[in-house]
Amino acid sequence: MHKTPVKYLVLIESDGAMVAKLYDSQFVHVNDIDASSEEVAVMTQGLTPAREANSPAWIKVLAGHGEPERRAALVFTLDV
């Protein structure tokens, strides 16, 4: 089975907890993981996040999250 590589990692609040949402280059949701996990630290090491989760491209993708959550979210573009 071929898996699409993860291109974006979004740190966003969900039901009072921080979650890392993983997306491919086409903004297709791949997985959610605990934002405090070591895996997230390794994946984002040395990367500078953007606060663009409230942009038109992300609003549709993150439709289940309110505007305040999207504004506070951090979007990392991963090296694939």
Where are the chain's structural domains? 8-77
- Predicted confidence band of residue 2 (pLDDT cuts 50, 70, 90): low
Q: How far is CA 28 from the centre of its chain?
A: 11
Structure tokens, 15: 């039901």
Cα-Cα-Cα-Cα dihedral sign, residues 66, 71, 74, 80? positive
pLDDT tens per residue, range 27-64 = 999 999 999 999 999 999 999 999 999 999 999 999 99
Compute the distance between CA of residue 16 and CA of residue 35 in angstroms, rounded to an integer: 12
Instruction: Kindly report whether the global pTM for this prediction surpasses the value 0.85.
Output: yes
Q: How far apart are CA 65 and CA 79, in angstroms?
A: 26
Please, where are the H alpha helices in 1-80? 38-44, 56-61, 67-72
